Chain A
Amino acid sequence: MLQPGLNHILFISTALFFIGVYGFFTRRNLVTILMSVELVLNSVNLNFIAFNKYVWAGKLDGLFFTIFVIAIAAAEAAVAIAIIINLYRSHHSIDVNKAEEMKF
């Protein structure tokens, strides 16, 4: 096998992205949907770091972007948990199919 390069890491990050997207479409539980979103964000981080290392080695922009994404993802996960708790209080279930009041 050849030396793993940029393309290999891109393969991994793309696969992670689409696995997360699949999980977002398929899961019925709000918490698992949140987990899938975390997978997507992680794939993006991996992408940034890979490009920073193999293409733009003279700067650290990709790395800083990754740090900010991690911070924001943490904040977003917290807010999402708060919303899930609120939704649970009103619907007594976190099945996403039951939260469909915004239909026609």
Chain B
Amino acid sequence: MLNENYLLLIPLLPLAGFVLLGLFGKKYLKNASGMIGTLLLLASALLALYVAYGYFFEFGKVDRVYQKMIGFQFTWLQFNNGVSIDMGALVDPISVMMLVVITFVSLMVHIYSLGYMKGEERFATYYSFLGLFTFSMLGLVMSSNIFQIYIFWELVGISSFLLIGFYYEKPSAVAACKKAFIVTRFADLGFLIGILILSFYSGTLDFNTLIQRLTSPDSAQFQNAITSSFLGISALTWGMVLVFMGGAGKSAMLPFHIWLPDAMEGPTPVSALIHAATMVVAGVYLIARLFPVFALSAPDALHLVAYVGAITAFFAAVIACTQTDIKRVLAFSTISQIGYMMFALGVAKYGSEAALGYTASMFHLFTHAMFKALLFLGAGSVIHFIHSNEMKDMGGLRKYLPVTHITFLIACLAISGIPPFSGFFSKEEILLAASQNNQFIFWIGLITSGLTAFYMFRLYFSIFWNKATPSLPDKSHGEGGFVMNLPLILLAIGAALAGFIPFGNFVSASGKPVEPGFHWQFSFLPVLLALTGILIAMRMYKKENLLPDKIASSFGGFYKAAYHKFYFDELYLFITKKIIFNLIGKPATWFDRNIVNGLVNATGNTTATVSAKIKGIQSGKVQQYGLYFLVATIAMAVLFIYWWK
């Protein structure tokens, strides 16, 4: 049976870590804080595995359908029309899967940081922020109420802000964390409006009730939401599009993707945890959570999701081919892969066979967390060794970093979709789902997977092969120790073997198992494309040569545009500075300073001037007082005698 206490302890243990290390870490627990954080998270991970085992194998299934259960609920804020903000824990296949992913990856990052962040002065603060983030993310996936998910959404945003700006003395880090927060906050405005629309039409904030009311065609709320429309689009579609806007912001979809490359200013383990495996998939998770409403009641919104996801995947892959900072390459790779997850959800339909996209998306989320975290941690090891992020400073490192080399290779093979690694299975399912429902998106996905293989192996060869004798820094200390290699090995095992999990039996849109139906003929084309990409990269980058530069100059302007990320940042800067600041901000400031402030000042000045004029009446001369007294008395006497009847 579901044990409520264990379920609640899973997020509360990292929260306890945050509070404890935040309050006492700096002074008292400096060196022990890493161990304390890691141990708390180890307990949380074991509890998550226990709950997952129990759910998937023991009590979750009723009549071969996985049930959505409420583990815990209490009413926090009750509005008087029946709507209430509850705090609850929802247990269903995707939330349990996410619990396992988040705690496992977070545990790996905790262990890795014991080595990577050693000697950092704000060591305890770092671990307390990691605890806050883990708590927020776990709360987000366990939310049973749409407003609760919004609360945890914002908490995750705050944790990301704190962690990106961890090295706050660097102005670039400060700018990056502000950018991340502002862009996601702007997208969250859409999310909030979407929440309001949905709760208005369905009369509730609880997920289960909301989904049930808005998807059954004969419920009054559904009729109401479908018929009321604004600018020709039904209110329900608007609500779902706005909710997707929030998800797009957090998951760095076009056009909100600008914050994720800059977020690489944070420490590399943070990038591994937040910007690869967990926070950026929150948007995908939100769409998956509301998938029945999308699929059954607002199919237009679902089309939007699919196209945005596909276009983002393609564009990010193109940009990633030109970047030279290894973390930026991985950031764009993340954007591209999340685009895959989005369009997989976008092409799915609700119902047992056609819901393959949903299962594929969740499966890719699971495997992507493993190999992307592995890629980032491996990049962290390289950066730790070379003390630089740029590809031109690296090359030929395979002899010096053996463990990193092998695990990085496994991760690159996984992300390129080479069998038998996990990425092959999850990507195949996505491409299969796309080919069954939307040919255009299928072809985009196919081309992008070729590009993915190319740029990932460009990265791999540039770091570990390329130069015959690498240029090492003066004080090189060898590969990181056991604490840095252990997470790499564990994640590599996951990346290699996770593909063999029969995911469709556990996670699907309707709770019933989904068979992917494996077609060997189908996989032939994508694998061939991936191998082609790998061979091209090998030809260009394995040995040092001039071929990359010649090809880059032959593309000319297109290459330059891709290198500058298609000038999206410049465009946004132009809009905010020239248009918003000058046309709206400056007049508003002038109005506030001169008219509003001026009015207050004028009141004060007038009072002072009038009082200066009047104060002469109190002159201190008794005769004057007597004179006024007499005149007033005569006036009052006249008034009373002649006028008052």
Contacts and interface: CB of A to CB of B under 8 A. Distances in A.
Interface of A: 21, 24-26, 33, 96-97, 99-104
Contacts of B170: none
B621 A96 contact: yes
B623 A103 contact: no
Contacts of A97: 621
A24 B620 contact: no
24 contacts: A21-B626, A21-B630, A24-B623, A25-B623, A25-B627, A26-B623, A33-B623, A96-B621, A96-B622, A96-B623, A99-B620, A100-B619, A100-B620, A100-B621, A101-B620, A102-B620, A103-B618, A103-B619, A103-B620, A103-B621, A104-B615, A104-B616, A104-B618, A104-B619
B626 A25 contact: yes
Contacts of B620: 99-103
Nearest to B621: A100
A80 to B, nearest CB: 13
A102 B622 CA distance: 10
Contacts of B618: 102-104
B311 to A, nearest CB: 77
Contacts, number: 29
A37 to B, nearest CB: 11
A19 to B, nearest CB: 13
Interface residues of B, number: 11
Nearest to A18: B630
A24 B621 contact: no
A100 B622 CA distance: 8
Contacts of B621: 96-97, 100, 103
B395 to A, nearest CB: 87
Contacts of A102: 618, 620
A24 B626 contact: yes
Nearest to A99: B620
Q: Which residue among B615, B622, B630 has the maximum number of chain A CB atoms within 10 Å of its CB?
A: B622
A98 to B, nearest CB: 10
Contacts of A103: 618-621
B537 to A, nearest CB: 90
Contacts of B627: 25
The 6 A-B residue pairs whose C-beta atoms are closest, nearest first, are A103-B620, A100-B620, A104-B615, A102-B620, A104-B618, A25-B627
A97 B619 CA distance: 10
B614 to A, nearest CB: 9
Contacts of B619: 100, 103-104
A25 B627 CA distance: 6
Given A26-B623, A97-B621, 18 more contacts: A21-B626, A21-B630, A24-B623, A24-B626, A25-B623, A25-B626, A25-B630, A96-B621, A96-B622, A96-B623, A101-B620, A102-B618, A102-B620, A103-B618, A103-B619, A103-B620, A104-B615, A104-B618
Interface in B396-418: none
Nearest to A102: B620
A38 to B, nearest CB: 16
A102 B619 CA distance: 7
Nearest to B624: A25
A103 B618 CA distance: 5
A75 B616 CA distance: 35
A103 to B, nearest CB: 3
A100 B621 CA distance: 6
A100 B618 CA distance: 10
Nearest to B619: A103
Contacts of A33: 623
Q: Which residue among A25, A99, A104 has the maximum number of chain B CB atoms within 10 Å of its CB?
A: A104
Interface string B619-645: 111110011001000000000000000
Nearest to B615: A104
Contacts of B615: 104
